[in-house]
Amino acid sequence: MAQELNIRLDPEDKKPLYRQIYEYIRGEIRSGGLEAGERLPSTRSLASGLHTAAIMSMR
């Protein structure tokens, strides 16, 4: 089962939302919060949890 991610998006940030998602996941991998081979949530699940469109999660 995929781990639930606790991503906090900042709509006021100049970085696009997809970039904020990318940087969060990258940081989790680098810090050991996500391990090699660990499953990420599906695009639809991630988008639903973040209250964004699925396309935003796929970029």
Sequence length of the chain is 59
The pLDDT score that the predictor gives to residue 35 is 87
Q: What is the pLDDT of residue 32?
A: 92
pLDDT in tens, the chain (59 residues): 566 788 888 889 999 988 998 999 999 999 999 888 889 888 888 888 877 765 555 55
Q: What is the pTM of this model?
A: 0.74
DSSP annotation of 39: P
Compute the chain's Rg from CA coordinates: 11
